[in-house]
Structure 1
Amino acid sequence: MNYYRFFIANWKILLFAILFAFFSGFGQTFLLSLYIPHFLKEFSISHTLYSTIYAVATLLSGITIIFAGKIIDRVPLKSFAVAVIVGIAAANIVAGLTFNLIILFLAIFMLRFFGQGLLSHTAMTAMGKYFTKNRGKALSVAYLGFPIAEGLFPIIIVGAILAFGWRQSFFLSALSIVVILLPVTLYLLHKFKQEDIKEEFGNSARGNLPLTVDNERTWSQKEIVRDKSFYFFAPTAFLVGFILTALFFFQTFIAEFKGWTIEWMALNITAYAIASFSFSILAGPITDKYTAKKIFPFILFPMIIGLITLIVFKHPFATTLFWFFVGVTAGLNPTVSNALYAEEYGIQGLGAVRSLFTFVMVGSTALGPIMYSLMLNSGLTFNLIHVIIIVVTTFLFI
C-alpha cells in the first residue's frame, strides 16, 4: 500500500496525528525561543536566569509526563485528546497573562508539558497503538506535522508579535487552538474505532510480530525500567534530544567559532529540514519491511558523521553537509523509535512505555544547553565538546 492509498484509507486518524504533531509547536523550543528577548526585557532578568527557569520547567514537565502519559492507555482517545487541547489552550492564556517569574515558570511548564510533551505523545502513541503492519508509514505521516510547524510557526508568531505584541500573540495562539484544533479533532475522532483502520498485510519481515493484543503482555513502567532493553534504547532517545537541542540553541556561537556568518548558518538549516522531511518519509516503509529493531542501532550514525564534518572542515559548504546529516537522524528517529517501542513492549500499555521515553527525551532537551554551557565555561571548544560526544556515543554502542 503506497502512501497515497494508505492516507486515503485512513485519512481521519492520520490527519488527527499530523495536526497534533503540528500544534505541539506551541511548546517546542524553536517557537518559545522567539519570546526570549521579550521575557528578558519584561521581567528584567538575565539570559542565565531564564535558561535555568526554562530547564527546570522542562525537566518538571518530563517527570509529570511519566504519570500523565500512561492515562492514554485507559481512556478513549477522543477524551484524552480533548483534555490535552484544553491544556495547551490554557497554557497560552497563562503565558499571555504572565506578570511575575512564578507565573512565567508555570506558563513555560504548561507549554512544555502540553505542547512538546502530550501533544507529541498523543500523536505518536495513537499511531503506534492503532497500526500494525503499516505502523512505520503511520508514524512517518504523523511526523510531517513537526517540520511543517518548524517552517510555518516562526513566520506566523514573529508576524503576530510585531503586529499585536507578545502577550496578544499568546492569546491568538489560544484562540487558534480552540477555533481550529478542537472542532477538527472532535470531527476526526467522532465514532472512531480501531476497526476503522485499514492496512495491507503483505509479506514483510514483520510477519512474526503479533497482529492482535489478545495474549500480549502488558508492561508496567517498573518492569520496563528493570528490562535490560530499556538501557539500550534510552541512551539513543537521550542523545538525539540532547545534541539536537544544543546545536540549535548554540547555532550562532558555532557559526562564529567556525568563521561562518550567522545568516549562512541559518540558511543552511534548510538542508536539515529537507533531510528530516525526506528521511521521515523513507523511514516508514523501511521500518515496515525490516522492523524497527534492525534499523534502530544505526539511527545515530548520520548525526555522528555530521559532527565529524563540523569538527574537521571549515569550508562554508561544510555547514550544508553538517545540517543534512543531523537532519537524517532527526528524520529517522521518531518513526523508528516509536515503532520500536511498540514492537518490543506491545501496544496495550504503549502510553506508559512512551511516557518513560518521552521523559528521557524531554529531560535531554533541558540538559543539552546547560551541559554545553558548563563545558564552554570550563574552557572547552565546540570541537572538543563534539569529540567527547562522539567518543561517549561510540562507547555506549560498542
Structure 2
Amino acid sequence: MIRSRIHEAYKKNTRYPWVIVALSVLTVFFSGPGQTYFISGFTEHFIESFNLSRTTVSVYYSGATLCAGLLLMLIGRQIDRWGHRRMTLIIGSLLGVTCFAMGVLPSAMLLILAFFCLRLFGQGSMVLLPSTLVPNWFTRKRAMALSLVTLGGVVGSVVIPPINTYLLSLMPWRRIWFVWGGLLCIIFIPLIYLFLYDKPANVEQENAVTTQESDDRDGWTLKETVVSGGFWRMAFSQSIPALVGTGLYFHLVSIMASKALGPEVAAMTLSVIGLCSFPATFIAGMVLEKVKVHHIYGVSFIIQCIALYVLATTKTMGMIILYAIMTGAVTGFQNVCRRLIWPEYYGRKHLSTISGLTMTLLVIGSAIGPMMIGAGYERIGNYEQVTYMMIGLTAIAALFSIVSPKPKKK
C-alpha cells in the first residue's frame, strides 16, 4: 500500500531521476562494509582473534578479492535479467547477512569465505548496481548524474573509518559488524524497496529520459562488444588506475620511507588525494557534458604520468603534496569517465553484463598491482625504477584511450 501511494505521488514528478541518483549514492555508501577502508580497520583484531600472521590475513584478503572479482560478470548478467531493484534488494540483504556473520565468525577458515562475500556483495556488486542503474534514467546530464554517484564512495571513505574507530572505543569489534548489518536491514533495504525503480517506464515517466527506447534498441550484446575495435583498449585503460593506484597506495609508507619521509606523510598524501578528488568529480561531470569522454580520459592519463614522474623523482614535502593534488584531480575525472564510457559506447540494454566484465578486469588489476610493485622493488632495489614502469603502463593507457572513440555498430 505504501509503495502504491509513492508510485502515484511520483508518477508526475519529472525530477524523479534525481531520486534515483540519491538512492545510488546511498547504495555506494552502504558498499562500505566490503571496502578496504572499512575492513582494514579490523586487521589487528583478525590477527589477534584468529591467531593469524599479517601475511596470512593479506593472502586471505587478496585471494578473496580476486575470486569475487571473477564473478562480477555473472552478477552483471543477473542484473540485466532480473532488474536493478530486485538485485539491489537481494545483494543488500546478503551483505547485511554477511555483516551479521562477521559478528559471530568462529574460525579463520570461515574468515576467507566472509572476505569473499564482503568483496563480492560490497566492493563489487553494490558499486556495479548504481553505475548501471543511473544510465537507465539519463541521456542528457548523464555525466553529471554519474559524477554525483561517486559521492557515496567519497563520503563513505571519509566518514566510516572514524565512526568505526569511535565505536571500537565503546564496544567489541564483532558488535560493530552487527551495527552495520542492522543499518543495512533497517535503513537501506526499506528505502530501496519503497523508492527504487529500474527505469522511467516503471513509474510511467515517459519524459524523464529522452531516447530511452532508441538507446535500448541499439544496445550492444556482450558478444558484439568484445569484438568491437575499442573495447579491449578501453578495458585495459580502465584497469590501469586500479593497478597503479592500489599498488602504490599499498606500498606508500615504504615508498615514503625510501625518501626519508615518515608514515604520517603517507597518511597525509592519501588524505590530500581524497580531498582533491571530491571537487574534481563535480568538475568532471560538467566537462564531460561538453567534451568527448575518450579525449578527457586520455588527458587524465597524461596528467597521471606527470604526477607519477613527480613521485619518482622528488624527496621534498612540497612536491609530494603536488603529486597528491594532481593524483586526486585525476582520480576524480577517471572515476566519472570509467562509469560513463560503457553506456555511452554500448548502450543500456546489456550494460550490467558488459560492466560486470570490465569490473572483473579492474579487480584483477587491483589484485596484481601490489604484487607487481612489491616484486619489482625486491628485484630492482628501489621504487624509482618501479614507478617508471607504472608510467609506461599509464602512457599506454593514454594512447589507447585517445585512439578509441565511440564505436559504430555494423
* Counterpart check, 1:132 vs 2:139: yes
| Aligned position for 2:86 | 79
| Aligned position for 1:342 | 343
Q: Which has the higher mean CA deviation after the structures are superposed, 332-341 or 185-194?
A: 185-194
* Counterpart check, 1:357 vs 2:358: yes
| Aligned position for 1:58 | 65
Alpha-carbon shift at residue 67 of structure 1 (Å): 0.7
**Partner deviation per Cα, 1:268-315 (whole Å, 9 max, x = no partner):** 333212221111111112112123233222232232222111112111
Q: Tell me how far apart the structure 2 counterparts of residues 211 and 380 of structure 1 sit (CA, whole Å).
A: 57
Q: Tell me how far apart the structure 1 counterparts of residues 262 and 153 of structure 2 sit (CA, whole Å).
A: 27
Provide closer, same or farther for how the CA distance between residues 311 and 118 of structure 1 changes in structure 2, counting only shifts above 3 A: same
Q: How many residue pairs end up in the alignment?
A: 385
| Aligned position for 2:383 | 382
1:216 to 211, 215, 218: 218
| Aligned position for 2:11 | none
Q: Tell me how far apart the structure 2 counterparts of residues 270 and 81 of structure 1 sit (CA, whole Å).
A: 31
| Aligned position for 2:395 | 394
- Tell whether the 8 Å contact from 2:136 to 2:198 is kept in structure 1 after alignment: no
- Tell whether the 8 Å contact from 2:136 to 2:199 is kept in structure 1 after alignment: no
Alpha-carbon shift at residue 192 of structure 1 (Å): 6.6
| Aligned position for 1:4 | none
- Tell whether the 8 Å contact from 2:69 to 2:360 is kept in structure 1 after alignment: yes
Q: Tell me how far apart the structure 1 counterparts of residues 18 and 24 of structure 2 sit (CA, whole Å).
A: 10
| Aligned position for 2:296 | 295
Alpha-carbon shift at residue 89 of structure 1 (Å): 0.6
Q: Tell me how far apart the structure 2 counterparts of residues 273 and 236 of structure 1 sit (CA, whole Å).
A: 21
| Aligned position for 2:27 | 20
Unmatched runs of 5 consecutive residues or more in structure 1: 1-6, 202-208
Show the 5 A alignment for 1:1-398: 10-189=17-196, 193-194=200-201, 196=205, 212-213=214-215, 215-220=217-222, 222-395=223-396, 397-398=398-399
Q: Tell me how far apart the structure 1 counterparts of residues 217 and 20 of structure 2 sit (CA, whole Å).
A: 26
Structure-2-length-normalised TM-score: 0.88
Q: Tell me how far apart the structure 2 counterparts of residues 140 and 198 of structure 1 sit (CA, whole Å).
A: 22
SS of alignment partner, residue 299 of structure 1: helix
Provide closer, same or farther for how the CA distance between residues 355 and 119 of structure 1 changes in structure 2, counting only shifts above 3 A: same
- Tell whether the 8 Å contact from 1:69 to 1:351 is kept in structure 2 after alignment: yes
Provide closer, same or farther for how the CA distance between residues 191 and 219 of structure 1 changes in structure 2, counting only shifts above 3 A: closer
Q: Tell me how far apart the structure 1 counterparts of residues 70 and 197 of structure 2 sit (CA, whole Å).
A: 31
Provide closer, same or farther for how the CA distance between residues 223 and 261 of structure 1 changes in structure 2, counting only shifts above 3 A: same
Alpha-carbon shift at residue 146 of structure 1 (Å): 0.9
Provide closer, same or farther for how the CA distance between residues 191 and 110 of structure 1 changes in structure 2, counting only shifts above 3 A: closer
- Tell whether the 8 Å contact from 1:18 to 1:145 is kept in structure 2 after alignment: yes
Instruction: Give the letter for the 1:140 counterpart.
Output: S
Alpha-carbon shift at residue 331 of structure 1 (Å): 0.7
Provide closer, same or farther for how the CA distance between residues 312 and 122 of structure 1 changes in structure 2, counting only shifts above 3 A: same
Q: Tell me how far apart the structure 1 counterparts of residues 316 and 380 of structure 2 sit (CA, whole Å).
A: 24
Alpha-carbon shift at residue 200 of structure 1 (Å): 8.8
Instruction: Give the letter for the 2:226 counterpart.
Output: V
Structure-1-length-normalised TM-score: 0.90
Unmatched runs of 5 consecutive residues or more in structure 2: 1-13, 400-410
Identity in percent? 24
Instruction: Give the letter for the 2:260 counterpart.
Output: G
Alpha-carbon shift at residue 211 of structure 1 (Å): 7.2
SS of alignment partner, residue 315 of structure 2: coil
Q: Which has the higher mean CA deviation after the structures are superposed, 225-234 or 108-117?
A: 225-234
Provide closer, same or farther for how the CA distance between residues 373 and 155 of structure 1 changes in structure 2, counting only shifts above 3 A: same
Provide closer, same or farther for how the CA distance between residues 193 and 10 of structure 1 changes in structure 2, counting only shifts above 3 A: closer
Q: Tell me how far apart the structure 1 counterparts of residues 69 and 197 of structure 2 sit (CA, whole Å).
A: 30
Q: Tell me how far apart the structure 2 counterparts of residues 197 and 20 of structure 1 sit (CA, whole Å).
A: 25
Q: Which has the higher mean CA deviation after the structures are superposed, 364-373 or 82-91?
A: 364-373
Alpha-carbon shift at residue 328 of structure 1 (Å): 1.6
Q: Tell me how far apart the structure 2 counterparts of residues 61 and 223 of structure 1 sit (CA, whole Å).
A: 25
Provide closer, same or farther for how the CA distance between residues 217 and 8 of structure 1 changes in structure 2, counting only shifts above 3 A: closer
- Tell whether the 8 Å contact from 1:94 to 1:103 is kept in structure 2 after alignment: no
Q: Which has the higher mean CA deviation after the structures are superposed, 381-390 or 227-236?
A: 227-236
Q: Which has the higher mean CA deviation after the structures are superposed, 356-365 or 370-379?
A: 370-379
| Aligned position for 1:206 | none
Q: Tell me how far apart the structure 1 counterparts of residues 30 and 249 of structure 2 sit (CA, whole Å).
A: 20
**Partner deviation per Cα, 1:346-369 (whole Å, 9 max, x = no partner):** 111100110011101111222222
| Aligned position for 1:205 | none
- Tell whether the 8 Å contact from 2:133 to 2:198 is kept in structure 1 after alignment: no
Alpha-carbon shift at residue 44 of structure 1 (Å): 2.0
Instruction: Give the letter for the 2:257 counterpart.
Output: E
| Aligned position for 2:7 | none
Alpha-carbon shift at residue 196 of structure 1 (Å): 3.7
**Partner deviation per Cα, 1:56-102 (whole Å, 9 max, x = no partner):** 11111011111112222222322111011111111212222222222
- Tell whether the 8 Å contact from 1:128 to 1:338 is kept in structure 2 after alignment: no
